[in-house]
């Protein structure tokens, strides 16, 4: 679910706007609500929380129904170890170790409100909610959780990885 904003001078009532927009949008985009906001509102910079969800399909066999929406991982994953590693990301911390080089930022400190790994049917869902994210930060967090789940290092090592501020760690 995303929030977007735009400025328009139209006579369509707000409660009818989602239907009007839906008639013009492609099938894979839906509008489920509309509200009027102050002129200086910016959906990207005024939000207080952002959330990502990554799905992993732990199987040696392909599933065409998951192909576009989940990453297939060929090896067994220990969900408890994954969750233990995910918990080490929670809090206000320096996340330089889990970012890619990208857009320059003033600070690599962010607050993660929750980071959870949980089974959802035959998938593993990793949800991360924070006040903002660095370039590729969540992807690197998920990869780190996968490594902990696979046993490449103990879940407790995630804290040390963050403290190192070193992406190669």
More confident call, 83 vs 11: 83
Q: Supply the DSSP string of 86-133, one letter for each residue.
A: HHTT-EEEE-GGG--S-S--S--EEEEEEEEEEEETTEEEEEEEES--
pLDDT value at 69 more than 90: yes
Burial of 68 (0-12, 13-18, 19+ CB in 10 A): exposed
3 state SS of 8: coil
Residue 1 pLDDT > 80: no
**Look-up: residue for tokens 């998920």?**
142
Could you tell me the pTM of the whole model?
Answer: 0.83
Residue 165 has pLDDT above 80, yes or no: yes
Yes or no: say if 98 and 120 are a contact pair by the CB < 8 Å rule.
no
Lowest model confidence (mean pLDDT) among 44-53, 59-68, 72-81, 82-91: 44-53
- Widest CA span in the chain: 59
Structure tokens at 89: 């990301």
- Tell me what pLDDT residue 44 has: 82
Q: Please, where are the H alpha helices in the chain? A: 17-22, 79-87, 137-150, 157-164
CB 126 within 8 A of CB 145: yes
pLDDT tens digit sequence for 108-130:
999 999 999 999 999 999 999 99
């Amino acid at each position: 679910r995303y929030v977007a904003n735009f400025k328009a001078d139209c006579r369509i009532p707000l409660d009818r706007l989602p239907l009007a927009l839906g008639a013009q949008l492609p099938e894979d985009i839906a509008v489920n609500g509309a509200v009027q906001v102050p002129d200086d509102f910016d959906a990207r910079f005024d939000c207080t929380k952002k959330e990502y969800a990554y799905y992993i399909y732990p199987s040696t066999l392909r599933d065409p129904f998951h192909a576009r929406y989940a990453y297939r991982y060929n090896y067994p994953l220990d969900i408890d170890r994954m969750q233990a590693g995910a918990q080490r990301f929670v809090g206000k911390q320096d996340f330089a170790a889990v970012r890619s080089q990208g857009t320059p930022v003033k600070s690599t400190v962010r607050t993660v409100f929750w980071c959870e790994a949980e089974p959802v049917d035959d998938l593993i869902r990793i949800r991360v909610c924070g006040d903002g994210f660095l370039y590729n930060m969540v992807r690197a967090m998920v990869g780190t959780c996968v490594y902990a789940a696979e046993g490449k290092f103990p879940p407790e090592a995630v804290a040390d990885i963050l403290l190192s501020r070193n992406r190669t760690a």
